[in-house]
Amino acid sequence: MPKTAQTRLSKEGATHFLHIESPFHFATGGRLPRADIAFETWGELNHDHSNGVLIMTGLSPSAHAASSEDDPTGGWWEPMIGPGKPIDTDHNFVVCVNSLGSCKGSTGPASLNPETGEQYRLAFPDLSIQDIAAAGGRVLDALGIERLRVLIGASMGGMSALALMRQRPAIARHFLAISTAICAEPFAIGVRSLQREMIVRDPHWQDGAYTDENWPETGMRLARKLGMISYRSGDEWRSRFGRLRQDRFNERLFGMHFAIESYLENAARKFIRDFDPCSYLYLSQAMDMYDFTDGFEDLKSAFAALQLDSAKIIGVETDILWPPYQQREICKGLTANGVDCDPQTLPSVQGHDSFLVDYDRFCPSVAGYFRRVEKI
Amino acid sequence: MPKTAQTRLSKEGATHFLHIESPFHFATGGRLPRADIAFETWGELNHDHSNGVLIMTGLSPSAHAASSEDDPTGGWWEPMIGPGKPIDTDHNFVVCVNSLGSCKGSTGPASLNPETGEQYRLAFPDLSIQDIAAAGGRVLDALGIERLRVLIGASMGGMSALALMRQRPAIARHFLAISTAICAEPFAIGVRSLQREMIVRDPHWQDGAYTDENWPETGMRLARKLGMISYRSGDEWRSRFGRLRQDRFNERLFGMHFAIESYLENAARKFIRDFDPCSYLYLSQAMDMYDFTDGFEDLKSAFAALQLDSAKIIGVETDILWPPYQQREICKGLTANGVDCDPQTLPSVQGHDSFLVDYDRFCPSVAGYFRRVEKI
Q: What digits encode the pLDDT tens for the residues B311-328? A: 999 999 999 999 999 999
What average pLDDT does range B325-350 have in this prediction?
98
Interface predicted TM-score (ipTM) over 0.90 = yes
Best residue in B121, B128, B222, B247 for a mutation probing chain A (most A CBs within 10 Å): B222
CB contact under 8 A, A261 and B189: yes
CA–CA min distance A190, chain B (Å): 6
Q: What digits encode the pLDDT tens for the residues B73-106? A: 999 999 999 999 999 999 999 999 999 999 999 9
**Which pLDDT value is given to residue B251?**
56
Q: What digits encode the pLDDT tens for the residues B259-283? A: 999 999 999 999 999 999 999 999 9
CA–CA min distance A33, chain B (Å): 22
CB contact under 8 A, A183 and B243: yes
CB contact under 8 A, B323 and A234: yes
Q: Is the pLDDT assigned to residue A237 strictly greater than 80?
A: yes
Q: Is the pLDDT assigned to residue A248 strictly greater than 80?
A: no
Nearest CA in chain A to B218: A201
Q: SS3 breakdown of chain B: % helix, strand, coil, rounded to 5?
A: 40, 20, 40
Q: How far apart are the first and last CA of chain B?
A: 39
Q: Which residues have CB under 8 Å from A183's CB, separation 6+? A: A159, A290, A291, A292, A293, B243
Nearest CA in chain B to A278: B254
**Which pLDDT value is given to residue B170?**
98
Q: What digits encode the pLDDT tens for the residues A145-166? A: 999 999 999 999 999 999 999 9
Residues of B in contact with A237 (CB under 8 A): 185-187, 190
- List domains and CATH numbers for chain B: 3-183+292-375 (3.40.50.1820), 188-284 (1.10.1740.110)
Q: What digits encode the pLDDT tens for the residues B23-74? A: 999 999 999 999 999 999 999 999 999 999 999 999 999 999 999 999 999 9
The answer to whether residue A319 is catalytic is: yes
CB contact under 8 A, A201 and B186: no
In chain A, count H helices and then E strands.
11, 13
CB contact under 8 A, B260 and A190: yes
Greatest alpha-carbon pair distance for chain A in Å reads: 66
Q: Parallel, antiparallel, or unpaired: how do β-strands B148-154 and B93-97 relate?
A: unpaired
DSSP B306-375: ---SEEEEEEETT-SSS-HHHHHHHHHHHHTTT-EEEEEEE--SSGGGHHHH-HHHHHHHHHHHHHHHHH
Q: Which of A23, A1, A114, A16 is nearest to A64 (CA)?
A: A16
Q: Parallel, antiparallel, or unpaired: how do β-strands A148-154 and B31-32 relate?
A: unpaired
Residues of A in contact with B264 (CB under 8 A): 190, 193-194
Q: Parallel, antiparallel, or unpaired: how do β-strands B52-56 and B148-154 relate?
A: parallel
CB contact under 8 A, B185 and A237: yes
CA–CA min distance B295, chain A (Å): 15
Rounded (10°) angle between helices A277-289 and A129-143: 100
Contact A7, A20 (CB under 8 A): yes
- The amino acid at B311: A
Q: Which of B294, B247, B228 is nearest to B60 (CA)?
A: B228
For chain A, where are the E strands, in sequence order?
Answer: 7-12, 15-20, 24-25, 31-32, 35-42, 52-56, 81-82, 87-88, 93-97, 148-154, 172-178, 310-316, 340-346
**Which pLDDT value is given to residue A1?**
35
Nearest CA in chain A to B284: A254
CA–CA min distance A120, chain B (Å): 15
Q: Is the pLDDT assigned to residue B252 strictly greater than 70?
A: no
Best residue in A122, A191, A193 for a mutation probing chain B (most B CBs within 10 Å): A193
Q: Considering chain A, what percentage of its residues have pLDDT values greater than 70?
A: 97
The conformation of residue B98, written as its DSSP 8-state character, comes to P
CB contact under 8 A, B243 and A122: no
**Which pLDDT value is given to residue B375?**
83
Q: Considering chain B, what percentage of its residues have pLDDT values greater than 90?
A: 94
Under the banding of pLDDT at 50, 70 and 90, the label for residue A5 is: low
The conformation of residue B3, written as its DSSP 8-state character, comes to G
**Which pLDDT value is given to residue A2?**
41
For chain B, the average pLDDT equals 96
Under the banding of pLDDT at 50, 70 and 90, the label for residue B2 is: very low
Under the banding of pLDDT at 50, 70 and 90, the label for residue B249 is: low
Nearest CA in chain A to B264: A190
CB contact under 8 A, B186 and A260: yes
CA–CA min distance B206, chain A (Å): 13
**Which pLDDT value is given to residue B246?**
83
Q: Is the pLDDT assigned to residue B238 strictly greater than 80?
A: yes
Full-model pTM: 0.96
Residues of B in contact with A190 (CB under 8 A): 225, 228-229, 237, 260-261, 264
Q: Is the pLDDT assigned to residue A97 strictly greater than 60?
A: yes
Q: What digits encode the pLDDT tens for the residues B140-189? A: 999 999 999 999 999 999 999 999 999 999 999 999 999 999 999 999 99
Best residue in B183, B207, B261 for a mutation probing chain A (most A CBs within 10 Å): B261
Q: Which of B254, B360, B247, B183 is nearest to A245 (CA)?
A: B183
Q: Is the pLDDT assigned to residue B303 strictly greater than 90?
A: yes
Nearest CA in chain A to B261: A190
The conformation of residue B68, written as its DSSP 8-state character, comes to -
Nearest CA in chain A to B121: A253
Check residue A240 and give left, alpha or beta (phi > 0: left; psi -120 to 50: alpha): alpha
Q: What digits encode the pLDDT tens for the residues A272-313? A: 999 999 999 999 999 999 999 999 999 999 999 999 999 999
Q: What digits encode the pLDDT tens for the residues A23-82? A: 999 999 999 999 999 999 999 999 999 999 999 999 999 999 999 999 999 999 999 999
Residues of A in contact with B326 (CB under 8 A): none
B181 three-state secondary structure? coil
Contact B257, B250 (CB under 8 A): yes
Q: Is the pLDDT assigned to residue A376 strictly greater than 90?
A: no
For chain A, the average pLDDT equals 96
**Which pLDDT value is given to residue A254?**
77
Catalytic center residues of B: 155, 319, 352
How far is Cα B262 from Cα A373, in angstroms, rounded to an integer?
45
Q: Of all helices (H) and strands (E), which one includes residue B93?
A: strand B93-97
Catalytic choice (A88, A319, A353, A358): A319
Helices assigned H by DSSP within chain B: 129-143, 156-167, 186-200, 217-231, 234-240, 259-272, 277-289, 299-303, 324-335, 354-357, 359-375
